Structure 1
Amino acid sequence: MTHASPHTSSPHTPSPHATEHDSDDHAELLDLDAEVLAEHLADITGWLPVGADPRQIVDLGCGTGAGTFALLERFPRAQVTAVDTSAGHLARLLRKAEAAGLADRVHAVQADLDAGWPDLGRPELIWASASMHHMADPGRTLRRVRDTLAPGGLFAVVELAGFPRFLPEGAPEDRPGLEERCHAANDRHHAEHVPHRGADWGSELTAAGFTVEAERTVSVDIGPPHTDAVGRYALGSLRRMRGSVAQVLAAEDLAALDRLLDTEGPDSILRRDDLAVRTERMVWAARRS
């Protein structure tokens, strides 16, 4: 499967049976992730050790285009091939490209990379953000990436440390530590359902025939104060997490979580002025050996 995700849910990609509403919520969350973390994404693309600016780029698991648009801005002469399993995400990406006057620089390919490998040309740069851990056989995907890259081409892998944290320590006041308990339950869920999350991608890249040229960890700590987008990002993220943890949370914790998610209630997370965004992203830049 090849979807980008701001952070993994179960996984953070709609299942084949997801409702249209679920898909819309997921797309909105991807867009919010891109908006809230735009500065950090630009920092990552600016750091890439590309040498000469690439002209052909592939974004594997592009989602609604966070990486695609960051790469288009970083490399103004490049064309980007955006690959995803979701027709809805690709349509949304293309609408945004059209609105930004970038339609002539974006080519969309709908494909499930676990099922087959499309013709992606010979790109000088391949970007995979929050998508490698969704692959059924990451080693096979890495070898296909290696074979697809142009000689001397670079592969950038960006992976997440899981869901961001939003609440301050001691919140919510009626159930302190709720967010950490939700994270612990979510981590147990993903250990079972998303086994490649948290893999040692440096070793995986080396085993697949790459030389890792650079790696780094990007720490994110935004606010407070926060923007309206951060509040909506927190709301969407915790809603997404609820689907993975509802069955295992204590009843008191689930009730407290639902009060945070009730946008009409007095305890709504949208009413809080103390939200932050705290997370980490790990980045590997690897060259064909």
Structure 2
Amino acid sequence: MDHPTSHRTPHGTHSVHRHEPGLDAGDQAEILDLDAEVLAEHHASVIAWLPLGPAPRHIVDLGCGTGAGALALLERFPEAELTAVDSSAAHLHRLQQKVAAAGAADRVRLVQADLDAPVWPGLGEPELVWASASLHHMADPADTLRKVYELLAPGGLFAVVELADFPRFLPGDAPEAAPGLEDRCHAALGRRHAAHVRHRGADWGSGLVEAGFTIEGERTVTVDIGPSRSDAVGRYALSSLRRVRAGVASVLSAGDLTALDHLLDTDGPRSILRRGDLSVRTERTVWAARRA
């Protein structure tokens, strides 16, 4: 990870998302951007559900990526300032461009930092801390939860969003040459994550309580979009399955790997971009935790 730096630009900051082997920063940024575009309504609904009371004046987004949560938070709370934290300079630069385009540059501070470091850079005293799909990347999540508790203003809220899995896109009987391929890919990826990203999909409720928080709400958000011929959904499926392939190619059967490569061949007749039966199916769990 990069060393902590902080700068005020027309924008924000970032701190976690480690790269998967076989993927470069551009691949990951594309997936994060498409997630923001395709699931925009779901991000907004999660934020609207948070039991906040008075609107926060200062928000910290931990592991902001390319800004799906940050942009939704800025839209929901037009008077708030936001500190965006991530370890990736490339992601922060992407976010900076987005915030500038949205006319919110003067409301965002970008912080490049390693959240696994013993001491965090100064992040102020926010009334809301947002961490979406970032806690499972932490080397010591319990320590991170304690630091967030200390960071928050008294009475402040910590919103944690955890992914159940990567989204699924294909019908169960697809593709024709290898029905159930996506299920087998996800099963293999799940075994890989169990070894290398062991906190992914964790139930953060008990950890939040141990860190001193009071859980004020928990919900599971079920996403089921489609079937859709949206270009964004097709690109989201393509980018996601490319990422899945990078993680499971070595354990797939020859037939499954061939079928997957046909889906990923954007010029081929069996390209996933040519399918009219794509949907987006996933689940995310949200915890709203209050500092006393």
Instruction: List runs of 5+ in structure 1 lacking aligned partners.
Output: 5-12
Matched, 1:248 2:261: no
Question: Which amino acid is the alignment partner of residue 199 of structure 1?
Answer: A
Residues in 2 aligned to 1:142 and 1:216: alpha-carbon distance in whole angstroms: 19
Match of 1:226 among 202, 224, 229: 229
Match of 2:110 among 87, 105, 108: 108
Match of 2:176 among 163, 166, 173: 173
| Aligned twin of 1:281 | 284
> Could you tell me how far 1:3 is from its partner in structure 2?
3.0
> Could you tell me how far 1:28 is from its partner in structure 2?
1.3
| Aligned twin of 2:45 | 43
Residues in 1 aligned to 2:221 and 2:203: alpha-carbon distance in whole angstroms: 16
Moved segments of 4+, more than 4 Å:
none
| Aligned twin of 1:14 | 19
- The aligned length equals 278
Q: Which string of whole-angstrom CA distances, capped at 9 and with x for unpartnered residues, describes residues 137-159 of structure 1?
A: 00000000000000000000001
| Aligned twin of 1:97 | 99
Residues in 1 aligned to 2:103 and 2:22: alpha-carbon distance in whole angstroms: 32
Residues in 1 aligned to 2:76 and 2:284: alpha-carbon distance in whole angstroms: 19
Matched, 1:214 2:210: no
> Could you tell me how far 1:197 is from its partner in structure 2?
1.1
Q: Which string of whole-angstrom CA distances, capped at 9 and with x for unpartnered residues, describes residues 43-99 of structure 1?
A: 000000011000000000000000000000111100010000000100110111111
RMSD across aligned C-alpha pairs, in angstroms?
1.3
Matched, 1:123 2:126: yes
Residues in 1 aligned to 2:269 and 2:128: alpha-carbon distance in whole angstroms: 48
Residues in 1 aligned to 2:238 and 2:228: alpha-carbon distance in whole angstroms: 16
* Counterpart contact for 2:22–2:246, Cα < 8 Å: no
> Could you tell me how far 1:226 is from its partner in structure 2?
3.1
| Aligned twin of 1:142 | 145
Match of 1:69 among 71, 75, 78: 71
Matched, 1:3 2:16: yes
Residues in 2 aligned to 1:23 and 1:281: alpha-carbon distance in whole angstroms: 24
> Could you tell me how far 1:18 is from its partner in structure 2?
7.2
Q: Which string of whole-angstrom CA distances, capped at 9 and with x for unpartnered residues, describes residues 114-166 of structure 1?
A: 01311100000000000000000000000000000000000000011111110
Deviates more, 1:113-122 or 1:275-284: 113-122
* Counterpart contact for 2:86–2:112, Cα < 8 Å: yes
Q: Alignment identity in percent?
A: 70
Matched, 1:80 2:82: yes
1:65–1:54: structure 2 CA closer, same or farther, 3 Å change rule? same
